[in-house]
Amino acid sequence: MMRFNQAFAAGEVALVGAGPGAADLLTLRAVRLMEQAEVVLYDRLVSDEVMALLPAKCRRIDVGKKCGQHSVSQQRIGELLVHYARQGLRVLRLKGGDPAIFARLGEELDALVQAGIAYQLVPGISAASGCAAAAGIPLTERGQAQQLRFISAVDQHSATSQDWADLSAPNQTLVFYMGTAALGEISQQLQQHGLAADWPVLLVQQGCRPQQQIQLTDLQSAAAVAASLSTPCLIIIGQVALRYRQQQARLQLPTALQAKEQAA
């Protein structure tokens, strides 16, 4: 049974988006549910800053996944959600970003529905929205990007099973999740299907966190640049990425003017 209520009932599961990392980007509803949680199953992308808001006495279970390494299987996650809810506990499923975007939410909902467990969903700021904001760029732009595509670079069948001709249309922004390892192939395929080698690529690692790193590059150099960044890294491809360079130039302008005045 799906509910829309910030109250947290005993025996209920709340599937909550933890956003891109900064605790003050959480929704008010997310914080209120976190404060009532008795058991928390959390992903590796949930920041320490967000985890610090949980009650000291709640049980914390790490069910995070890393590329090629799953500490807990997806089936087991569903079983744990049902197990603790049936004990009458308030169970919080805490997911980085938004739980409805590339977070295998459907499989967890299936487990809850089949078991007859009440649940509620709380959206979070997605990794794409958070990283774009951290870089100071829009994801859409009139005359440049009339479409926005969220793409998983990894699925259960193929590392990059995509319609490359469709993705290579110039009037759109592509956001690749979990794509760092496949970035060489992504870049190659997009170039082979019509995008220029100097087509803009923005790489954002740990966006909206104090340790964030942002690199503006292009399709030709993206894989080499990404090798210097740790994973996970969000990949934003499209003309909107060039606004990051413009923003950086504006930030440096006062310093440049001061230097010019001093020289005069």
| Bridge partners for 239 per DSSP | none
The span from the CA of 214 to the CA of 207, in Å, is 8
The CA distance from 201 to 194, in Å, is 15
Cα–Cα distance, 39 to 21 (Å, whole number): 20
The pairing of strands 65-66 and 69-70 is antiparallel
d(CA 163, CA 193): 10
Would you give the distance in Å from CA 145 to the centre of its chain?
A: 20
Alpha-carbon distance of 70 to 63, in angstroms, equals: 8
| Residue 142 three-state SS | coil
Question: Could you give the residue numbers annotated as active site?
Answer: 43, 65
Q: Which one-letter amino acid corresponds to residue 162?
A: Q
